């Protein structure tokens, strides 16, 4: 059976790692990953899965580590990459919203 990301998250939890889950909940325009796409992150910043074409993963991973610390879910939103968003943005011109939550407990 094809392994799922959630199955892998459960495995990570069993291994005693802290895990956060990021899920694409809304997309507008040409977003590279459909709604429901997911990324899991552990306390050391190791991650699996994808929520964009790689444009915002770095930022999502650091937000996920904050979420693990605080225990509180967060909603992230990313838009088009312009000068101000040069650090983090979607080059494809789409917009996405991502829900980041701690797993386990």
DSSP 15: T
| DSSP secondary structure string for all residues of 44-87 | TS-EEE-SSSSSSHHHHHHHHHHHHHH---EEEEE-B--STTSS
Task: Give residues with Cβ within 8 angstroms of 25, minimum separation 6.
Answer: 35, 75, 97, 98, 99
Among 10, 81, 88, 92, binds another protein (CB under 8 A): 10
To 5 degrees, how large is the angle CA 29–CA 34–CA 38?
130
Q: Is 77 in the site for another protein (CB under 8 A)?
A: no
Residue 87 beta carbon to another protein: minimum distance, rounded to whole angstroms: 25
Nearer to another protein, 59 or 99 (CB): 99
Q: Is 2 in the site for another protein (CB under 8 A)?
A: yes
Q: Is 85 in the site for another protein (CB under 8 A)?
A: no
Contact footprint for another protein (CB under 8 A): 1-2, 4, 6-7, 9-10, 13, 21, 23, 25-26, 35-36, 72-73, 75, 97, 99, 101, 103-105
């Amino acid at each position: 059976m094809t392994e799922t990301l959630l199955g892998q998250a459960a495995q990570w939890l069993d291994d005693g790692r802290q895990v956060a889950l990021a899920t694409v909940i809304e997309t507008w325009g040409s977003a590279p990953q459909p709604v429901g796409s997911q990324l899991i992150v552990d306390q050391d910043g190791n991650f699996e899965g994808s929520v964009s074409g790689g444009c915002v993963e770095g930022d999502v991973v650091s937000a996920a580590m904050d979420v693990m610390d605080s225990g509180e879910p967060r909603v992230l939103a990313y838009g088009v990459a312009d000068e101000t968003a040069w650090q983090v943005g979607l080059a494809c011109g789409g917009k996405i919203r991502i829900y980041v939550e701690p797993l386990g407990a």
